[in-house]
Chain A
Amino acid sequence: VEDTRRQQPNVQRMELLGATVAPVEAGSGTLKDATSEAIRDWVTNVGRTHYIIGSVVGPGAVPAIVRDLQRVIGDEARAALLEREGRLPDRVVACVGGGSNAMGIFAAFVEDEGVELVGVEAGGDGLDTPRHGAPLTLGHRAGILHGSMSAIMQDADGQVVEAHSISAGLDYPGAGPEHAWLRDSGRATYVGVTDEDALRAFGTVTRLEGIIPALETAHAFHHVLEVPSDSTLDLVCLSGRGDKDLAEVLAKLRAEAA
């Protein structure tokens, strides 16, 4: 329900393409709740339904299938960089909610040991508050969500707690299990960027590049633009365009100006 509001243009596109979009009332009406409801529908109608998920979360096989399909972007970006720059990047940076775009672009560089992999999670109101979506960054202990074990936001009993992010795609209390493995093995690092910083980066990239990035991607841009680094060549995965976020962003900016 909440995401059909803040991602209204995506809902409109899906409906134009002939899809039926069923809002989910449960929980906070965001990504976790929609994923749960999709799984319930799938197991109920499994004889005549295919479960299609865009993120690297879910029961076994699903995260690996999504990673392998998403890595087209990584393979193409790697080839393009070698062709145009004659070298690999120092860093590959991507936003992480469930983590599909990040896993897709990381997958092509995991074997390149000199390339740093950085996942940017939702810092929300701040990593020192409970309102964020950064279980990897904060080193939350492992738990089971949507059929796989990974870092999740949970209370002492193991109840999954609600995440928060200005961006719908990062508003998720878990992350794909392979991200947890990349973190634990030291191959990738994860950082958090707040709502406020992401909003600023959204405007900056739009003005500098004429590219309106998705609010999700704006988190990654903030990290690349504002956090000092020795890197001389960064590869940022532009996970989506921000047209879908315009109404939401403009409303926020108006509210701040008032």
Chain B
Amino acid sequence: VSTADATVAGAERIAAAFAGSGKSAALMPYLMGGFPTSRAPGGSAWPTPTAARTSSSSACPYSDPLADGPVVAAAGARRLRAGSTLDGVLGVCETLAPRLPVVLMCYANLIYARGTERFLDALALGRRLGPDRAGPAARGGRGGRRRGRAGRASRSSARGADHAARAPGAHRRPRPRLRLHRLAHGTTGERAALADTFAETVARARAATAVPVALGFGIATPEHAAQAAAAGADGVIVGSRLVRAAAEAGDAPTAVRELVAGLADALRR
């Protein structure tokens, strides 16, 4: 862990969010930063993450989103066409951060382009966001050939062939704060029920780490969320379903708020 106070603060906030969610699993809404408009998420009218009251993950729109299915990819493309910038997304995160911990999901090239240290400094603005400097994206500025898998900096990579083999190797990552685990091979997107795989997935992740385990990549409904919690997940990530609602609804904040409320209900103890 870096000596930077912001790092500790961020890690502690995330830990506290898991410990104090008051739910059977922490609800982690995943939204595209600045989507559908640059104004809404930063404004007081954007209630979604607050309704979750636990933690939120926010994605940076990216030109070549290898890990994303059609819904998230289209949302990112729409934001980029509208002129979205990395600084704009960081601004959205900073606005949200006083209300709840924000985990920024980001394709690796955005980090490399800015430079790892400068990127992390930007995240630590106002000590509101806690970058995990020990994360895979932060291990030195070079040597990308080894790390350059076609995935997100913190999610499992887009490459699926070594899915089962990855968990045992996780100990090589220095002290992750949070482990996100993919439910199925493939890209982000809503899927039919996968509940029969939840317990096995959680068990595999548990065997490799002591940090909280959050399930994502395919959880779309309150039923899925409850099943993931029942299988022992510490966190439940819902992405494409919310991004789709934000894309389709005339009143995006209300549509997303209602979905999040339904998911939160399903996770009440």
Contacts and interface: CB of A to CB of B under 8 A. Distances in A.
Interface in A38-75: 39-40, 42-47, 58-60
B185 A149 contact: no
Nearest to A40: B187
A39 B151 CA distance: 11
B66 A36 contact: yes
B73 interface: yes
B113 A157 contact: yes
B77 to A, nearest CB: 8
B160 interface: yes
Given A149-B145, A157-B85, A42 B113 contact: no
B148 A59 contact: yes
B32 to A, nearest CB: 14
Q: How large is the interface on A (under 10, 10 to 19, 20 to 34, 35 or more residues)?
A: 20 to 34
A59 B150 contact: yes
Contacts of A22: none
Given A43-B160, A158-B86, A159-B63, A142 B110 contact: no
B64 A43 contact: no
B146 to A, nearest CB: 7
A43 B187 contact: yes
B86 A39 contact: no
A46 B145 contact: no
Contact of B114 (A39, A144, A152, A158): A158
B139 to A, nearest CB: 14
B144 A144 contact: yes
Contact of A177 (B145, B150, B186): B145
Contact of A147 (B85, B110, B159, B160): B159
B109 A154 contact: yes
Interface in A154-168: 154, 156-161
A142 B64 CA distance: 16
A56 B46 CA distance: 45
Contacts, number: 99
B150 A45 contact: no
Given A59-B148, A148-B145, A159-B62, A44 B185 contact: yes
Nearest to B106: A158
Contact of A144 (B77, B86, B148): B148
A158 B112 contact: yes
Nearest to B182: A43
A160 B185 contact: no
Contacts of B158: 39-40, 43, 147
A36 B67 CA distance: 9
A116 B62 CA distance: 38
Contact of A39 (B108, B109, B150): B150
Contact of A157 (B86, B146, B151): B86
B38 to A, nearest CB: 15
Contacts of A43: 67, 158-160, 185-187
Interface of B: 62-64, 66-67, 69, 73, 77, 80, 85-86, 107-114, 144-146, 148-151, 158-161, 163, 185-187
21 contacts: A26-B77, A39-B158, A43-B67, A43-B185, A43-B186, A46-B185, A59-B148, A60-B145, A143-B113, A144-B107, A144-B112, A145-B109, A146-B150, A147-B148, A147-B150, A147-B158, A149-B144, A158-B110, A158-B111, A159-B62, A177-B145
Given A42-B160, A159-B110, A160-B63, 6 more contacts: A40-B186, A146-B64, A147-B149, A149-B148, A158-B112, A159-B62
